[in-house]
């Protein structure tokens, strides 16, 4: 009996307490974002109040954000860019990933190596010359500059994720299909792709998240308010000079965070399995 109690105590001190500390560390900023956005200014800036709770919840900050800023436009821009770029990257990633996983051709290894290296290249290494390339293409200050450039870091990611998935699918099935008169592409689309759905969903979702969160390119290529995406618009448009309207900033940040958080809570299982698969193979 005493032994059992000792074990429980050991678990509380050794597992639950440290885990609770980690969870608090991870979640506190979101809690603070949440309660700051539901407070009116007098309460938000009242140092004497209990700052960790809301006495009078209000939607004032949200109303102000929607009334004063182009937030709906920014949300739409983010959706448009993220959806389109993840679709494009997914398509090209499926093609390249299938080629690398299944086909033997001279240069395949070099290409595989190149995609892997590309995956490591940080955006801050080339953002300055890329700005002039974007300008030459006539795309500066337009969300198309993002649609064109985001696939450069999304395709390598999708390709690598999908190679692993495609390789795990037995070759026999598509060979049977091809003997039955199916073309290589037909076998890929009809047999292999449906079996790789978890990988496809994970890659598409993660590409969406990466696009939604991207900051450096969006900050560099776009200066017009109406063409900005959420991740850049909130920190640049809502801070006017030295004035920080924290209630509005937190409300807008919350609005910008919810879509990806929701997306990921729906596909949590795919996400964790995909991430762990990627981590092991990466």
Partner 1 sequence: MAAIAHAERLPARSWVARFTKSEALTGYGLISPAVFLMLVLLAYPFILAVYISLTDRVLGEPGKFIWLGNFIKLLQDSLFRQTVWNSFVYTVTTVFFKMLLGIILALLLNQEIPCRNLIRGAILLPWIVPTSLSVLTWLWMFDSLFSVVNYILLGIGLISKKIPWLGDPFWAMVSVIIVNTWRGLPFFAVSFLAGLMTIPKELYEAAETDGAMRFRQFWHITLPLLQPVIAVVVLFSTIWTFADFQIVYILTHGGPINATQIFATMAYDVALVAGRIGEGSAISLFLFPALLVVIILMLRYLRQD
Least distance between partner 1 and beta carbon 197 (Å): 19
Least distance between partner 1 and beta carbon 185 (Å): 5
Least distance between partner 1 and beta carbon 36 (Å): 7
Pick the closer one to partner 1 by CB: 149 or 207.
149
Least distance between partner 1 and beta carbon 1 (Å): 21
Q: Are strands 239-240 and 243-244 parallel, antiparallel or unpaired?
A: antiparallel
Handedness of CA 227, 229, 235, 238 (dihedral sign): positive
Least distance between partner 1 and beta carbon 105 (Å): 4
Q: How far apart are CA 272 and CA 198, in angstroms?
A: 11
Among 95, 77, 121, smallest CA distance to 200 is for: 95
Pick the closer one to partner 1 by CB: 33 or 195.
33
Pick the closer one to partner 1 by CB: 135 or 226.
135
DSSP 8-state symbol, 13: I
Q: How far apart are CA 31 and CA 254, in angstroms?
A: 10
Handedness of CA 49, 52, 53, 59 (dihedral sign): positive
Q: How far apart are CA 78 and CA 97, in angstroms?
A: 27
Handedness of CA 256, 260, 266, 272 (dihedral sign): negative
Structural tokens at position 98:
């299938």
Least distance between partner 1 and beta carbon 246 (Å): 5
3-state DSSP of 156-194: HHHHHHHHHHHHCCCHHHHHHHHHCCCCHHHHHHHHHHH
Determine contact, residues 221/66, Cβ cutoff 8 Å: no
Least distance between partner 1 and beta carbon 62 (Å): 15
Q: What angle do CA 20, 22, 27 make, to 5 degrees?
A: 95
Q: Maximum CA pair distance of the chain?
A: 78
Least distance between partner 1 and beta carbon 187 (Å): 9
Structural tokens at position 90:
């997914």
Structural tokens at position 239:
């801070």
Pick the closer one to partner 1 by CB: 20 or 59.
20
């Amino acid at each position: 009996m005493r032994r059992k109690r000792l074990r429980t105590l050991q678990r509380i001190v050794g597992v639950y307490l440290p885990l609770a500390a980690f969870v608090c560390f991870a979640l506190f900023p979101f809690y603070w974002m949440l309660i700051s956005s539901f407070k009116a200014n007098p309460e938000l800036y009242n140092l004497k109040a209990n700052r960790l709770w809301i006495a009078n919840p209000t939607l004032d900050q949200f109303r102000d954000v929607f009334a004063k800023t182009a937030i709906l436009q920014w949300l739409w821009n983010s959706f448009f860019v993220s959806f389109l770029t993840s679709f494009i990257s997914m398509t090209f990633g499926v093609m390249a990933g299938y080629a690398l996983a299944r086909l033997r051709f001279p240069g395949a290894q070099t290409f595989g190596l190149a995609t892997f290296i590309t995956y490591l290249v940080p955006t801050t290494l080339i953002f300055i010359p890329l700005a002039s390339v974007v300008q030459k293409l006539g795309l500066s200050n337009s969300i198309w500059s993002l649609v064109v450039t985001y696939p450069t870091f999304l395709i390598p990611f999708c390709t690598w994720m999908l190679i692993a998935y495609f390789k795990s699918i037995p070759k026999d099935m598509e060979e049977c299909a091809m003997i039955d008169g199916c073309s290589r592409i037909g076998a890929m689309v009809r047999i292999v792709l449906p079996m790789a759905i978890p990988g496809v969903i994970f890659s598409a979702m993660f590409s969406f998240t990466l696009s939604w969160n991207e900051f450096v390119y969006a900050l560099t290529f776009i200066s017009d308010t109406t063409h900005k995406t959420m991740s850049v618009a909130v920190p640049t448009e809502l801070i006017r000079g030295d004035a920080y309207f924290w209630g509005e900033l937190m409300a807008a940040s919350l609005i910008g965070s919810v879509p990806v958080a929701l997306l990921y809570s729906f596909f949590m299982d795919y996400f964790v399995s995909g991430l762990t698969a990627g981590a092991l193979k990466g």
